[in-house]
């Protein structure tokens, strides 16, 4: 079982003006993968997002952080920039698979700027801001996620098959 952090980037959600269905969807879907140690809703502010990620990685030592929201082309969509500011290494295959899977359903998937990467021994993944997008993207990456986390933590061998 892994420790999980969830960060929702939403101005309205952080002010209590909108229910966060996407963050709740993440928690439901990942219930079998581990326990949610922290779940926060923050405004679409780069520094606030980065600080939430740093707190979860450096202080809480969660294994995985999933963000939802702020990955589009809007002027306040800054989640990828906040993530890039705190990660040490990119994991480009994760957002590539999410975009490819989503493109099968909508051409708008190409507008996603989501990123994924490692900060120390924490995997950080940006997800879309809609519950439907969260479900589709997690469905696409979940088959490999457990193995990737085990490798990251030094609990499994490399991916090569005989």
We report the CATH number of the domain holding residue 80 as: 3.40.980.10
In a domain, 160, yes or no: no
Residue with tokens 């993207």: 137
- Single pTM value for the model: 0.95
Q: Residue 80: pLDDT above 90?
A: yes
pLDDT number for residue 158: 63
In a domain, 142, yes or no: yes
In a domain, 162, yes or no: no
Q: What is the DSSP letter of 110?
A: G
In a domain, 158, yes or no: no
In a domain, 6, yes or no: yes
Query: Phi then psi for 18, rounded to 5 degrees?
Result: -150, 135
Q: Residue 52 — very low, low, confident or very high, per pLDDT cuts 50/70/90?
A: very high
Q: Residue 156 — very low, low, confident or very high, per pLDDT cuts 50/70/90?
A: confident
Domain of 82? Answer: 2-152
In a domain, 159, yes or no: no
Parallel, antiparallel, or unpaired: how do β-strands 64-68 and 89-90 relate? unpaired
Find the mean pLDDT for residues 141-150: 94
Parallel, antiparallel, or unpaired: how do β-strands 2-9 and 64-68 relate? parallel
Q: Residue 62: pLDDT above 60?
A: yes
In a domain, 82, yes or no: yes
Q: Residue 58: pLDDT above 60?
A: yes
In a domain, 144, yes or no: yes
As for how many domains the chain has, the answer is 1
């Amino acid at each position: 079982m892994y420790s999980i952090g969830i960060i929702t980037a939403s101005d309205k959600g952080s002010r209590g003006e909108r229910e966060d269905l996407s963050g709740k969807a993440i928690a439901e879907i990942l219930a079998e993968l581990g326990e949610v140690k922290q779940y926060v809703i923050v405004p679409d502010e780069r520094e606030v997002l980065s600080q939430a990620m740093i707190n979860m990685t450096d202080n809480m030592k969660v294994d995985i952080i999933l963000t939802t929201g702020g990955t589009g082309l809007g002027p306040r969509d800054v989640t990828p920039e906040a993530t890039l500011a705190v990660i040490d290494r990119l994991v480009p295959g994760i957002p590539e698979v999410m975009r490819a899977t989503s493109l099968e359903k909508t051409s708008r998937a190409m507008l996603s700027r989501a990123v994924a990467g490692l900060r120390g021994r924490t995997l950080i993944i940006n997800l879309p801001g809609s519950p439907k997008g969260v479900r589709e993207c997690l469905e696409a990456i979940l088959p490999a996620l457990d193995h990737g986390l085990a490798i990251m933590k030094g609990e499994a061998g490399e991916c090569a098959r005989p």
